Structure 1
Amino acid sequence: MKAFVALVHRELIEHRGAFLTGPLLLLGLIFGATILAFSVGRVDVHFSGAVLTVVPLIVYEMGFLGLGFAWSLYLTATLFFYCADGFAADKRNNAMLFWKSMPVSDFKVLLSKLVAAITLLPASVFAVALLSGIILFGVAFTTMLINGTATLAALGDIVGIYGQIAFALFTVLVTGLLWYLPFMALVGAIATVVGRWAIPIAVLLPTIASTLEWVTLGGLHPFATNTWAYLQYRTALPKTDYADSWIASVENKFSPNLSVPRFDGFTFASDLLAGIDWTQLGIGIVFALAVIYAASEYRRRVNDN
C-alpha cells in the first residue's frame, strides 16, 4: 500500500508544473486583475439603498462561479493532456527498466496514474480555485470597506455565499471526474501504445465507430447513428434545472424586486446528483479499469520481449 501511495505522489511531483505551479501563477494574475477591477473603477461599488446590500453579493456570487467554471475548463484540458503524457512517460524517459525491477506490477503503476488523475492532481487545482475565491472576496470586501459601501455585517453573508458555491464546485468536481473517468482511462491506455498522440487518436475513435455503424447498418450520415447519440449523451455532464432557473433569475436581481433567493449550493448539488445516470457511471468505472488492465498487459508483454 505504501508503494502505491508513493507512486501516486510521484505523479504529483512530476507534474506539479501543470497542476500546482501553473495554477499558482494564474492565481497571481487573478489577484492583480481583481485589485485593478475594484481600484480603477471597472467594478462600480458605489451603491445606495436596498441595492447596497444586494448587488455586491451578486458580484461575489457571479465572480466566484465564473472563476469556478474557468478553473474547471483548465482542469479538464490539463487532465487529458496529463493522461496522454503521464501514461507514456516511463517509456519516453527510459525509466521502464527501473520500474520493471520494482516489486510493483504494470497494472498498479498505470492504476496509480489514473488514481492520481482523480485525486491529488484535481485536488491541487481545486485548492487553488478555493484560494482564488478567497482573494476575490477579500479584495472586493476590503475595497468596499475603504469606500464606505460595506459593513462588517455583510461579512457573514459573504462567508455563507463562499461556502455554498465551494460545496457546489466540489460536487461538480467529484461527479465530473467519475463521469469522465472512462475517457481519461482510454486516453491513458492509448498513450501506452502511441505516446503523446493519444488525444487525437482518442478523438478520432468515436468518429470511426460511428462511421462503421453508418456503413454497416445505414443511416442519414455518420453523425446520425446510435453510437454518436450515445457518445453525445455520455460526454455531457447532466444539467440541473436549478442552475438554469437561477441563472435566468439573475437579471431580476437588478430590478426593483430584490427578493430573489441567493445561490443555494445544496439544492444545486442535490439536483445534479439526482440527474446522474448511476448505471452509466458504474459502467464507466468498470470500463476504465478494464482498459487500464489491457494497457498494463500490453506494457508488460512488450517490455518483457
Structure 2
Amino acid sequence: MKAFTALMHREFIEHKGAFFLGPMLLLAVLFGLTILAFTVGRVDVHLSGALFTVAPLIIYEMGFFGLGFAWSLYLAVTLFFYCADGFAADKRNNAMLFWKSMPVTDFKILLSKLTAAVTILPGVVFGLALLSGVLLFGVAFATMSINGTASVGTLGAIAGIYGNVALTLFTALIAALLWYLPVMALVGAIAAAIGRWAIPIALLLPTLISTLEWVTLGGLHPFATNTWRFLQYRLAVPQTDYVDTWFAAAETATSGRLGVPRFDGVAASGEVLASLDWTQIGIGIVFALAAIYLASEYRRRVNDN
C-alpha cells in the first residue's frame, strides 16, 4: 500500500505543473484582473452591488457555475494529455529501470497512474476551482458592502449558495470521472504501448472503429453505424433537467421579468447521480481494469525482451 501511495505521489510531483502550478497561475491572473477591474473603474461597484441585490444573488450562482464549467474544460483537456503522455513517461526518463528493480509490478504502476488521474490530480484542480469561487464570493460581498446592501443575512445567503453550487460541481466531477474512466484507461493503455503517438490515434480511434463496421457490415456512411451511435451516447456529457431548467429561469430572472427559486444543490446532485447509466459505469470499470492489465502485460514482455 505504501508503494502504491508513493507511485501516486510521484505522479503528482511529475505533473504538478499542469495540475497545480498552471491552475495557480490562472487563479492569480483571475484575481489580478478582478482587482484591476474595480480599482481602475472598469466596474461600477455601486451598480454591481445593486445588481446582486436586485437579482437575488443569481449573478453569483451563475458566475460560480461559469467558473466551474471553465475549470472542467481545463481539467478535461489536461487529463486527456496526461493519459496520452504520462503512461509512457517512464520510457523517456529511464525511470522504468528503477521501478523494475523494486517489487512493483507493471500493472500496479499503470494502475497508480489511472488512480491518480481520477483522484488526486482532478482533486487539486477542483480545490483551486473552489478557491476561485471564494474569490467570486469576496467580490460579491465587497460590492454589496460598498453599495450598502450587505448584511449578516446576505453573507449567510452567499455561503449557502456557495455550498449548494460546490456540492453540485463535486457530484458532477465524480460522475464525469466515473463515466469517462474507460476512455482515460484506453488512452493510457495506447500510450503505454506506443508512446506519444497515442494522442492522434486516440482522437482517430472512434472514427476508425466506426469505419471498420461500415466497411464490413454496410450502412449509409461511417457516421451512421451502431458503433458511432454507441460512442455518441458513451462520450456525451451527463446532463440533468434540473440544472437546465434552473439556468433558463435564472436567465429570465436577471432580466427582471420573473423570480426564480434558490438553487438546490442536493436536488441537482441527486438528479446527476440518477441520470447515470450505472450498468455502463460498471462495464466501464471492468473495461478500464482489463485495458490497464493488457497494457501492463504488453509493457512487461516488451521490456523483458
Fold match by TM threshold 0.5: yes
Partner residue in 1 for 2:203: 203
Distance in 2 separating the partners of 1:71 and 1:120: 15
Distance in 1 separating the partners of 2:126 and 2:141: 23
Partner residue in 2 for 1:294: 294
- Structure 1 residues 72-127: Cα deviation after superposition (integer angstroms, max 9, x where no partner): 00001001111111100110111111111110000000000000000010000000
Secondary structure of the corresponding residue to residue 222 of structure 1: coil
Q: CA deviation at 1:259?
A: 3.3
Are the equivalent residues in 2 in contact too, given 1:238–1:276 (CA < 8 A)?
yes
Are the equivalent residues in 2 in contact too, given 1:23–1:128 (CA < 8 A)?
yes
Listed as ranges, the gaps of 5+ residues in structure 1 are none
Partner residue in 2 for 1:46: 47
Measured on the aligned residues, the alpha-carbon RMSD in Å equals 1.7
Distance in 1 separating the partners of 2:299 and 2:178: 25
Between the aligned residues of both structures, percent identity stands at: 70
Are the equivalent residues in 1 in contact too, given 2:81–2:199 (CA < 8 A)?
yes
Secondary structure of the corresponding residue to residue 219 of structure 1: coil
Q: CA deviation at 1:153?
A: 2.4
Q: CA deviation at 1:43?
A: 5.9
Q: CA deviation at 1:258?
A: 5.0
Partner residue in 1 for 2:282: 282
Partner residue in 2 for 1:109: 109
The residue type paired with residue 84 of structure 2 is A
Are the equivalent residues in 2 in contact too, given 1:238–1:272 (CA < 8 A)?
yes
Partner residue in 2 for 1:241: 241
The residue type paired with residue 132 of structure 2 is S
The residue type paired with residue 155 of structure 2 is L
Are the equivalent residues in 1 in contact too, given 2:176–2:238 (CA < 8 A)?
no
Partner residue in 2 for 1:228: 228
Q: CA deviation at 1:152?
A: 3.1
Distance in 2 separating the partners of 1:248 and 1:5: 44
Are the equivalent residues in 2 in contact too, given 1:45–1:56 (CA < 8 A)?
no
Secondary structure of the corresponding residue to residue 47 of structure 2: coil
Distance in 2 separating the partners of 1:269 and 1:296: 36
Are the equivalent residues in 2 in contact too, given 1:210–1:223 (CA < 8 A)?
yes
Distance in 1 separating the partners of 2:213 and 2:84: 27
Partner residue in 2 for 1:262: 262
Q: CA deviation at 1:200?
A: 1.2
Partner residue in 1 for 2:68: 68
Q: CA deviation at 1:37?
A: 4.0
CA gap of 1:228–1:52, structure 2 versus 1, over 3 A, is closer
Partner residue in 2 for 1:141: 141
Distance in 2 separating the partners of 1:143 and 1:22: 29
Name the TM-score, length of structure 1 as normaliser.
0.95
Are the equivalent residues in 1 in contact too, given 2:52–2:58 (CA < 8 A)?
no
- Structure 1 residues 186-206: Cα deviation after superposition (integer angstroms, max 9, x where no partner): 111111121112121011111
Distance in 1 separating the partners of 2:196 and 2:209: 22
Distance in 2 separating the partners of 1:65 and 1:197: 35
Secondary structure of the corresponding residue to residue 91 of structure 1: helix
Distance in 1 separating the partners of 2:35 and 2:59: 14
Q: CA deviation at 1:45?
A: 4.2
Listed as ranges, the gaps of 5+ residues in structure 2 are none
Distance in 2 separating the partners of 1:46 and 1:150: 14
The residue type paired with residue 300 of structure 1 is R
Distance in 2 separating the partners of 1:277 and 1:43: 47
Distance in 1 separating the partners of 2:82 and 2:167: 26
Distance in 2 separating the partners of 1:180 and 1:47: 39
Distance in 2 separating the partners of 1:126 and 1:24: 12
The residue type paired with residue 43 of structure 2 is R
Are the equivalent residues in 2 in contact too, given 1:37–1:43 (CA < 8 A)?
no
CA gap of 1:55–1:38, structure 2 versus 1, over 3 A, is farther
Aligned pairs for 1:75-224 (under 5 A) are 75-224=75-224
Are the equivalent residues in 2 in contact too, given 1:54–1:258 (CA < 8 A)?
no
Are the equivalent residues in 2 in contact too, given 1:55–1:254 (CA < 8 A)?
yes
